[in-house]
């Protein structure tokens, strides 16, 4: 049993903070920000190379930078931050001690060593195989080894999270069910176990193949299993950032879920139907039947999509309800107009919500439709889509969360508050533009992961449509905006951690057991207690956009060469 000396009571929230958990959250968050900065720089150099008028890097460097960009931001930034979210959602929100902090540190060190090893492998130049590292293209053995170490570390961290839930329940640090945010984090953690298992099943043999112990790896089998990791990990991100949306709405506005039942069921759908995502990557592969493709991308009901669409209503709905309780009841949108748009945590969260839905969500379903996938597979449409999900969605949500973590966990006030205020808009608009313009270029046929759309060195010539050049230029400009937003984030966060005004020194917890609960906004949201007209308008607009865009793509499909 932990001694009380290991805790402090947060004067702002009344949360009971376990100091070893706090230290681990700090370490993981800092590592996350470092990899975001590195990966973001690589990303900027990639976008500037793909801007034909700039064409920054030579080909070799471009493919190297693109590989590093994928690994550093999609894996290392996001998963380090998710570790911080898991420890926060378990130990801090439940007011419990963290189970096995030493294992938490082991996890952290393994992840760090793995991430650094993979980066070294990529920078040495022998591992420019892209994030997906499709066989039979081969990377240096320590590239795979780095990824494996990172995954093992992450798995240990996930089990520390599970252990903490058990400890908290055993020691009765809370009553009733775990909070919704913890439930969302639990969803992410369960999916993470599946994801990492898939990763181990494919990366371990691939590592053995790279050092010559295994002679052959079937490329199709590799892809099937690899995507069990590759896209399921995006389901971790979705679960984690939806949990973060709920957390920010609760901390900033005192919002309470409209219905615990609905929101939790929506999270549960992610666990049951996460396989859907993996099949999306195999829609134009040889040797896979249409029945398999259709069933696995939809399970006949699209229930994982349903889960996200539910959160799409309940998150803004809970915000609207909270705001209306506070008296912003005029018209349909006063609650939204008078929301705290100057608070970077809220602004980032709400932009993330809207852009994840409109840019990432809709296009993800289109890409995951058996026949429509043929129109976009491996074009720039694909990165356009996932920059809508993991950059405008996950990354922006995590950035927003950081603005709460710095005062709550690091106990520092934000430096440069004006810059922090603008940061979510700068980054959000940049990310939205990257997503949109890449999708535009992809619709015009521009290939992803491609150094030269003018085909100067090719034996045959090909002129891409002029519009594609415009799209790539706009993409480059938006990448600069996003990079400035990313820079602002790093400056504010690092500046605050190092030089921010200390908030009052943590007093050792004198009071035992359960901390005082900050009183939530009075009960609402039950049947018939409150109408949410603004949210209904928002989701209706979303739905109309979804349906229209879906059928526009079918119309486009009908115009290409008949094939069967």
Partner 1 sequence: MAIHPPKQMIWWHEPVERSELVWIAVAFLWGLVMFGTMVAWHFVGKQNLSNEAYRITPDVFQARTEAAAEKYKVREEGNTGIPVVRPPPGGDAYMLARLWEWWPILELEKGQSYRLHISSLDWQHGFSLQPTNVNLQIHPGYEMVLTVTPDAAGQFTVVCNEFCGIGHHTMIGRIYVVDKK
515-544: which residues touch partner 1 (CB under 8 A)? 517-518, 520-521, 523, 525-532, 535-536, 539, 543
CB of 418 to partner 1, least distance (A): 28
Q: Following DSSP, what letter does each residue of 52-94 receive, concatenated?
A: TTT--S-HHHHHHHHHHHIIIIIIIIHHHHHHHHHHIIIIITT
Binding partner 1 (rule: CB under 8 A), the pick from 33, 385, 448, 493 is 448
| Binding segment toward partner 1, per CB under 8 A, in 74-82, 201-209, 307-315, 391-399 | 307-315
Considering only residues 258 to 297 of the shown chain, the ones binding partner 1 according to CB under 8 A are 258-263, 283-290, 294, 297
State how far the Cα of 142 lies from the Cα of 146, in Å rounded to an integer: 6
CB of 77 to partner 1, least distance (A): 22
CB of 212 to partner 1, least distance (A): 18
Q: Which is nearer to partner 1, 130 or 491 (CB)?
A: 130
Q: Which is nearer to partner 1, 327 or 533 (CB)?
A: 533
State how far the Cα of 382 lies from the Cα of 208, in Å rounded to an integer: 30
Token pair of 155, please? 């798995």
Considering only residues 398 to 437 of the shown chain, the ones binding partner 1 according to CB under 8 A are none
Q: Which is nearer to partner 1, 242 or 487 (CB)?
A: 242
Question: What's the Cα-to-Cα distance from 99 to each of 175, 433, 512, rounded to whole Å?
Answer: 19, 42, 19
Interface with partner 1 includes 378 (CB under 8 A)? yes
State how far the Cα of 443 lies from the Cα of 553, in Å rounded to an integer: 10
Interface with partner 1 includes 548 (CB under 8 A)? no
State how far the Cα of 398 lies from the Cα of 29, in Å rounded to an integer: 10
Interface with partner 1 includes 139 (CB under 8 A)? no
Question: What's the Cα-to-Cα distance from 238 to each of 222, 294, 339, rounded to whole Å?
Answer: 24, 23, 24
State how far the Cα of 465 lies from the Cα of 441, in Å rounded to an integer: 9
State how far the Cα of 116 lies from the Cα of 31, in Å rounded to an integer: 11
CB of 406 to partner 1, least distance (A): 17
Of the candidates 1, 96, 8, 2, the residue with the CA atom closest to the CA atom of residue 503: 8
Considering only residues 228 to 257 of the shown chain, the ones binding partner 1 according to CB under 8 A are 246-247, 249-251, 254-257
Token pair of 253, please? 């506005």
Considering only residues 118 to 137 of the shown chain, the ones binding partner 1 according to CB under 8 A are 128-130, 134, 136-137
Interface with partner 1 includes 514 (CB under 8 A)? no
CB of 31 to partner 1, least distance (A): 24
Q: Following DSSP, what letter does each residue of 311-361 receive, concatenated?
A: HHHHHHHHHHHHHHHTT--STTTHHHHTS-TTSHHHHHHHHHHHHIIIIII
Written in H, E and C, the secondary structure of 213-257 is CCCCCCHHHHHHHHHHHHCHHHHHHHHHHHHHHHHHHHHHHCCCC
**531, 450 in Cβ contact below 8 A?**
no
CB of 33 to partner 1, least distance (A): 23
Q: Which is nearer to partner 1, 288 or 480 (CB)?
A: 288
**232, 195 in Cβ contact below 8 A?**
yes
Considering only residues 71 to 110 of the shown chain, the ones binding partner 1 according to CB under 8 A are 93
Of the candidates 276, 266, 271, 272, the residue with the CA atom closest to the CA atom of residue 298: 276
Considering only residues 308 to 327 of the shown chain, the ones binding partner 1 according to CB under 8 A are 309-310, 313-314, 317-318
Sign of the Cα pseudo-torsion (138, 141, 142, 146, in order): positive
Considering only residues 1 to 40 of the shown chain, the ones binding partner 1 according to CB under 8 A are none
Q: Which is nearer to partner 1, 110 or 362 (CB)?
A: 362
State how far the Cα of 66 lies from the Cα of 69, in Å rounded to an integer: 5
Binding partner 1 (rule: CB under 8 A), the pick from 215, 459, 466, 505 is 459
**136, 219 in Cβ contact below 8 A?**
yes
Interface with partner 1 includes 486 (CB under 8 A)? no
Interface with partner 1 includes 345 (CB under 8 A)? no
Binding partner 1 (rule: CB under 8 A), the pick from 300, 466, 507, 510 is 300
| Binding segment toward partner 1, per CB under 8 A, in 27-35, 193-201, 334-342, 458-466 | 458-466
Size of site (CB under 8 A) for partner 1: 114
Vertex 532 angle, CA 527 and 535, to 5°? 130
CB of 155 to partner 1, least distance (A): 26
Q: Which is nearer to partner 1, 501 or 531 (CB)?
A: 531
Q: Following DSSP, what letter does each residue of 261-325 receive, concatenated?
A: HHHHHHHHHHHHHTHHHHHGGGTT-TT--HHHHHHHHHTTTTHHHHHHHHHHHHHHHHHHHHHHH
Interface with partner 1 includes 217 (CB under 8 A)? no
Considering only residues 165 to 204 of the shown chain, the ones binding partner 1 according to CB under 8 A are 174-181
Of the candidates 200, 264, 194, 265, the residue with the CA atom closest to the CA atom of residue 235: 194
CB of 105 to partner 1, least distance (A): 26
Interface with partner 1 includes 303 (CB under 8 A)? yes
Burial degree of 510 (CB within 10 A; 0-12, 13-18, 19+): exposed
Interface with partner 1 includes 377 (CB under 8 A)? yes
Interface with partner 1 includes 512 (CB under 8 A)? no
Residue 519, number of CB atoms within 10 A of its CB: 8
Q: Which is nearer to partner 1, 285 or 413 (CB)?
A: 285
Binding partner 1 (rule: CB under 8 A), the pick from 302, 333, 341, 549 is 302
CB of 419 to partner 1, least distance (A): 27
CB of 458 to partner 1, least distance (A): 4
CB of 106 to partner 1, least distance (A): 28
């Amino acid at each position: 049993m932990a001694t009380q000396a290991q805790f402090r009571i947060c004067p702002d929230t009344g949360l009971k903070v376990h100091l070893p958990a706090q230290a681990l959250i700090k370490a993981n968050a800092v590592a996350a920000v470092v990899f975001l900065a590195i990966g973001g720089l690589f990303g900027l150099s990639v976008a500037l190379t793909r801007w034909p008028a700039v064409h920054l890097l030579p080909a070799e460097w471009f493919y190297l930078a693109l590989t590093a960009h994928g690994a550093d931001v999609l894996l290392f930034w996001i998963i380090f931050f998710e570790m911080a979210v898991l420890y926060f959602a378990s130990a801090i929100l439940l007011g419990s001690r963290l189970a096995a902090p030493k294992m938490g540190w082991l996890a952290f060190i393994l992840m760090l060593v793995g991430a650094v090893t993979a980066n070294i492998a990529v920078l040495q130049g022998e591992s420019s195989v892209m994030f997906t590292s499709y066989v039979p293209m081969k990377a240096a053995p320590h590239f795979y080894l780095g990824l494996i170490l990172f995954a093992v570390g992450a798995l240990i961290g996930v089990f520390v999270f599970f252990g903490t839930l058990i400890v908290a329940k055993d020691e009765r640090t809370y009553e009733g069910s775990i909070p919704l945010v913890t439930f969302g984090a639990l969803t992410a953690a369960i999916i993470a176990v599946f994801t990492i298992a898939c990763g181990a099943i494919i990366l371990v043999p691939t590592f053995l193949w790279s050092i010559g112990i295994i002679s052959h790896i079937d490329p199709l089998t590799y892809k099937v299993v690899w995507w069990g990791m590759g896209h399921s990990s995006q389901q971790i991100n979705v679960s984690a950032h939806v949990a973060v949306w709920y957390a920010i709405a609760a901390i900033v506005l005192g919002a309470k879920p409209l219905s615990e039942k609905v929101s939790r069921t929506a999270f549960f759908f992610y666990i049951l139907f996460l396989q859907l995502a993996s099949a999306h990557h195999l829609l134009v592969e040889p040797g896979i039947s249409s029945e398999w493709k259709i069933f696995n991308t939809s399970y006949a009901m699209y229930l994982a999509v349903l889960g996200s669409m539910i959160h799409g209503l309940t998150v803004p709905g809970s915000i609207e309800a909270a705001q209306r309780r506070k008296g912003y009841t005029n018209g349909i949108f006063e609650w939204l107009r008078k929301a705290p748009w100057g608070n970077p945590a809220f602004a980032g969260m709400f932009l993330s919500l809207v852009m994840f839905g409109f840019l990432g969500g809709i296009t993800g379903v289109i890409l995951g439709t058996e026949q429509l996938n043929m129109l976009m597979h491996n074009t720039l449409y694909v990165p356009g889509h996932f920059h809508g999900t993991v950059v405008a969605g996950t990354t922006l949500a995590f950035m927003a969360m950081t603005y709460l973590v710095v005062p709550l966990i690091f106990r520092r006030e934000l430096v440069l508050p004006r810059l922090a205020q603008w940061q979510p808009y700068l980054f959000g608009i940049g990310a939205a533009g990257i997503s949109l313009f890449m999708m535009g270029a992809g619709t015009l046929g521009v290939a992803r992961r491609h150094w030269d759309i003018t085909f100067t060195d090719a034996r045959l010539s090909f002129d891409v449509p002029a519009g594609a050049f415009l799209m790539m230029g706009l993409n480059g400009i938006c990448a600069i905006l996003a990079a400035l937003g990313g820079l602002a984030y790093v400056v504010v966060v690092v500046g605050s951690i190092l030089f921010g005004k200390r908030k009052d020194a943590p007093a050792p917890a004198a009071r035992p057991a359960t901390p005082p609960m900050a009183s939530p906004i009075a009960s609402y949201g039950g049947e018939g207690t409150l109408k949410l007209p603004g949210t209904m308008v928002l989701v209706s607009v979303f739905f109309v956009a979804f349906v229209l865009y879906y059928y526009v793509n079918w119309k486009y499909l009908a115009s290409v060469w008949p094939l069967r």
